[in-house]
Amino acid sequence: MSLAAPLGLSARALREAILAGSFSVLEVTEAHLAQIAKHNSELQAFQRVDAESALARARELDAALARGEGNGPLFGVPVALKANMCVQGMETNCGSRILEGYIAPYTASFVQKLLDAGAVLLGVTEMDEFAMGSSGENSAFGCPRNPWDTQLTAGGSSSGAAVAVATRMVPIALGSDTGGSVRQPAAFCGIYGLKPTYGRISRYGLVAFGSSLDQVSPFAHTAGDLELVLEVLSGLDERDSTSLPLPAFEPERPAEAQRLVGLKVGVLKHELNADVAPEVLVQCQAQLERLEAMGAELMEIELPHLSYAIPTYYVVATAEASSNLGRYDGSLFGKRIEGDGSLTGMFEATRNGAFGDEVKRRILLGTYVLSAGYAEAWYGKAQRVRTLLRRDYAAAFEAVDVLASPTAPTTAFRLGAKKEDALAMYLSDLFTVPASLAGLPALSLPAGLTSNDTGCLPVGLQLVGPALSEGRLLRLARALESSQTSALPIPPLCTEIR
Ligand code: GLN
C-alpha cells in the first residue's frame, strides 16, 4: 500500500495514517474534495458538497489531535450521506421537489454517531425520490452515472452514495436499504454494501419510506470498513421504537473470524435463476468455488415462496409509503402550492405538482391496498405471505449457515432501458427484496468483472444470514476479499488511483 496520497485508502488505513502523522486530516479532506471536483459534474454522485464546513471540521480535528485529543474509530475519515438523512441546519430533500429547501431541525442519531467517531462530512449524495427506484432516474435533481460506463445506471435508490465510494470520493457513505437500495447499487458499482438486521441501526432521523423495511446501510470498498461502520452505528436508541434492545455489534474474535471449514453455504436454487444473466452466474459461481476451496460446504437450497417476494414487497412497501408520505401536503411538511385557494385545492396542487410519477404511482397503489373492503385481500394477504417467507428462511437456516445468490439478476443496465416499464424495474430487485421482507442481514460483495463485448462490468454476490449474523457474513466477505489475487478493481475513469 502506497502512502503517497490518501486517495483510495480504506477508512481504517486512513485513520491509522492520520494518527501516525503520515497525513493531516486537512490533507485527507482536501484530497477527497479534489476527487469530487474532478468527477462529480460527469457522474453526479453528490447533490451538494459542503467544502467549507468540511475543511473547517478537518482543521478542528487536526487541532484536537495536536492537543492529544480525539482518537475516534473514524477519526478524520471523509463520509457522505444520502439525501434522506437529517443533519440539523442542512437541506434534506429526499431527491424530491416537495422537500426542496426543507431544512432538518435535528441530526439523525446515526449521523451523530458518525460525527462522534471523528468522521468528516463532505456532502449529500443523489438518490431516487423518497428512495423509490432502482436506477437513480427518479430523482427530481441529478441522475448519477455508473463510473464503469457512464451510459449505464449506477443502480438505486442510493445511487450517488455508491458512485461516491466506487470512485473513491469517500471511503464510506451511508445509504438506506428498504428492498435492495444499497446492495443493488453496490453490485452495479463494484463495491461492498451491507444491509444490517432490521433494527440494528436506529432509523431516528432517516426519512421514512417503508417503516417495517427501512435500514440505514453502509457502502465501503473493503469488508473491514463495513464492519467498522456497523460497530459505530449499531446499538439501542430509545428514540426509535424498532431499534433492537441490544448493545452495539461486536466483530468476531480473530480465532472465530478465520474459520470457514465446515461452514455451510446454501446456494439459492429457483426457477427464476433462468432469468439471471449467464455472465452474472459465472462470476458468482467462481466466488462460491473459492469459498469451497477454503473449506466451506456448498448445498442447494430452495425458498419455496421466493417468487411471491416482489408482489408482496410492492404491497407492503407501497402501503407503508402511502401512510408515511401522507404528511407532505403543504400544511406542515412539503413545499406548499396554493392551487384554487381552498384547503383541499392546496393539498391537491401541492401533492400533484411536487411529487414525481413513481412516488405518485406508489401512493396510489398503497392507498388502494389499504382501502376499506380491499385491505384484507391485499395488505392482510401480503403480511401472511411475508410470514411464509420468514418461515422459508428459518427452515433454510436449519440446514445452512448462510444463503448465497447473485445480488441482482443482471449487471448495470442502460439508463432509460427500464424507466417506462415499472414492472421490469421492480423485477431487478428479485434477490434483494426477500431478505428485506424477512428483516435479515444481507451483504453484497464484489464478485469480479464480466468481460464481454459490452465491456467490463461489476457483478455482486449476495450473502444472507439469520438475524444478527452480520459477523458471519463479514467473515465470509473478508475471506473472499483476502483470497483475491489482485486488489479490488477501480473504475477505469479514476486514472489517479492506480
Ligand atoms: N428498488 C426498490 C424500490 O424501488 C428498493 C428501494 C429501496 O431499497 N429503498 O422500492
113 given a catalytic annotation: no
Whether residue 176 contacts residue 198, with contact meaning beta carbons closer than 8 Å, is answered with: no
Superfamily of the domain at 4-304+391-497 = Amidase signature (AS) domain (3.90.1300.10)
Ligand 1 pocket: which of 137, 138, 181, 217 to mutate (most atoms <8 Å of CB)?
A: 181
181 given a catalytic annotation: yes
Evaluate if residue 4 carries a pLDDT over 70.
no
Evaluate if residue 2 carries a pLDDT over 50.
no
pLDDT at 274: 66
What's the 12 CA to ligand 1 centre distance in angstroms? Answer: 30
Which range among 119-123, 133-137, 422-426, 463-467 shows the weakest confidence by mean pLDDT? 422-426
Which range among 16-25, 112-121, 485-494 shows the weakest confidence by mean pLDDT? 485-494
* Averaged pLDDT for residues 66-86: 95
Bridge partners (DSSP) of residue 449 are: 458
Distance CA 193, CA 226 (A): 7
Active-site pick, 181, 322, 428, 469: 181
What order do you get walking across the sheet with 120-125 strand by strand?
Answer: 46-49, 120-125, 78-82, 172-177, 215-220, 192-195, 442-452, 455-464, 402-406, 264-269, 297-302
Question: Within 13 Å of residue 48, how many CA atoms lie on the same side as its CB?
Answer: 18
Residue whose C-alpha cell is 437500495: 181
Distance CA 74, CA 115 (A): 8
Q: Which of ligand 1's atoms lies nearest the C-alpha of 362?
A: 10
Active-site pick, 10, 24, 82, 135: 82
Ligand 1 pocket: which of 134, 325, 362 to mutate (most atoms <8 Å of CB)?
A: 134
Whether residue 86 contacts residue 207, with contact meaning beta carbons closer than 8 Å, is answered with: yes
What's the 133 CA to ligand 1 centre distance in angstroms? Answer: 5
Ligand 1 pocket: which of 94, 126, 157 to mutate (most atoms <8 Å of CB)?
A: 157
Active-site pick, 96, 139, 157, 322: 157
* Averaged pLDDT for residues 6-26: 96
- Calculate helix-pair angle for 25-43, 11-19, nearest 10 degrees: 150
pLDDT at 298: 97
* Alpha-carbon distance values, 74 to 114, 171, 200, 231 (Å): 7, 11, 19, 11
pLDDT digits (tens, 9 = 90+) for 303-346: 999 999 999 999 999 999 999 999 999 999 999 999 999 999 99
What's the 462 CA to ligand 1 centre distance in angstroms? Answer: 16
* Averaged pLDDT for residues 99-112: 98
DSSP 223-256: HHHHHHHHHHHBS--TTSTTS-SSPPP-PPPHHH
Confidence of residue 234 (pLDDT cuts 50, 70, 90): very high
Confidence of residue 252 (pLDDT cuts 50, 70, 90): confident
What's the 32 CA to ligand 1 centre distance in angstroms? Answer: 29
pLDDT at 1: 41
pLDDT at 17: 96
pLDDT at 71: 85
Distance CA 400, CA 398 (A): 6
* Averaged pLDDT for residues 171-181: 98
Which residues surround ligand 1 with Cβ inside 6 Å? 131-134, 157, 177-181, 209, 317, 429
Evaluate if residue 220 carries a pLDDT over 70.
yes
Confidence of residue 272 (pLDDT cuts 50, 70, 90): low
pLDDT digits (tens, 9 = 90+) for 349-364: 999 999 999 999 999 9
Q: Write the residue with the smallest CA distance to atom 5 of ligand 1.
A: 179
Distance CA 110, CA 491 (A): 30
